[in-house]
Amino acid sequence: MENTAQHTDMIRTEAQRIGFGFVGFARAEYLDEEARRLETWLRQGAHGRMSYMENYFDLRVDPSKLVPGAKTVICLTFNYFNPEKQQDPEAPKISRYAYGEDYHAVVKDRLHDLLAYIQSEIGEVSGRCFVDSAPVMEREWAQRAGLGWNGRNTLTINPKRGSYFFLAEIICDLPLLYDEPLRDHCGTCRRCIDACPTEAISPEGYFLDASKCISYLTIELRDEIPPEFRGKMDHWMFGCDVCQDVCPWNRFSEKHAEPAFEPHPDLLQLSKHDWQELTEESFGKVFKKSAVKRVKYAGLKRNIDFLEK
Ligand code: SF4
Ligand code: SF4
């Protein structure tokens, strides 16, 4: 027990030293209730065409299938909040998380550093690192590890910092001291539900029809955006921050300290006209290391053009 407490402290301290914000620990066990909720969500087709969400069901709900003998899910947050906005209020908008370099690479590197630290300072520990990775139910683990509650907008909300952070996990076979889940503090608030431009959040919240969400429509959907969303996109060309911007808990957000998340110098300056005239060359320059590259030039053009229809 003494060692367990010491190991837990060591990992928390090192994680924060290398740039993570909040660190919590959950017992790696079968996600029973969450498995049932995921089944319902899939059955209702709320995942749209993200068919990969149907895969790996047994891996998602059972961490020991990802790491044999798993004891702990180490859950971490990595702040990406940047209060700066695009200068032209009419420019098509990009979600804050995509301002800088692709978070998958940035955060994954830090996770590997943390796992290497655990293995060198604590001993032979088997573990795997995950950032926004399909087989891990990140928000459920974050809630169990006391990092926040899952709000009506379905995002993890931390009472001290809101929701502008990435979630990351190390699943490992090292037993640690486990945190208590936080209770829900959404109370009577419904701002995210009322503000969502496409009514993607269910009337009572806590359920997102991803097939209606602007993030899905602008990033995940490969086909044409369905015409029913014309005029409803609120000028978003990549992702959407509305249900976070209106969340009262995000008044506690503070600017990130990660140089890799600083936007390319042109990103916030480009005018509506610049975006409409965007060339493949400028796209390659502005989004060189960005997660936006995922939709490629043609995908971003499709989104920009859709806003004008
Ligand atoms: S990201 Fe935008 S479209 Fe998606 S649920 Fe939130 S407010 Fe609605
Ligand atoms: S906007 Fe209100 S209801 Fe929505 S997640 Fe934030 S606190 Fe909860």
Residue of 47, 157, 213 to mutate, ligand 1, most atoms within 8 A of C-beta: 213
More confident call, 43 vs 8: 8
Q: How confident is the model at residue 140 (pLDDT cuts 50, 70, 90)?
A: very high
Q: Determine whether 173 is an active site residue.
A: no
Identify the band that residue 2 occupies on the pLDDT scale cut at 50, 70 and 90. low
What pLDDT, in 10s, does the model give residues 16-43? Answer: 999 999 999 999 999 888 877 888 878 8
Per-residue pLDDT of 160-201, as tens digits, reads 999 999 999 999 999 999 999 999 999 999 999 999 999 999
Write down the domain spans for the chain: 1-309
Q: Which of 152, 185, 243, 246 to mutate to test the pocket of ligand 2 (most atoms within 8 A of CB)?
A: 152
Calpha distance 275→271 (Å, rounded):
6
With cut-offs at 50, 70 and 90, classify the pLDDT of residue 146: very high
Mean pLDDT of 38-53: 77
Please determine, for residue 1, whether its predicted confidence score (pLDDT) is greater than 70: no
> Which residue minimizes the CA distance to atom 2 of ligand 2?
189
> 22 vs 53, which has greater pLDDT?
22
Tell me what pLDDT residue 235 has: 97
pLDDT of residue 133: 81
**Per-residue pLDDT at 58:** 82
**Least trusted range by pLDDT, from 50-59, 101-110, 221-230:** 50-59
Contact of 149 with 185, CB cutoff 8 Å: yes
pLDDT at 50: 72
Lowest-confidence region among 101-110, 117-126, 128-137, 161-170: 128-137
For residues 61, 64, 66 and 68, what is the CA-based torsion angle, rounded to 10 degrees?
-170
pLDDT the model gives residue 308: 87
Nearest-CA residue for ligand 2 atom 7 is 186
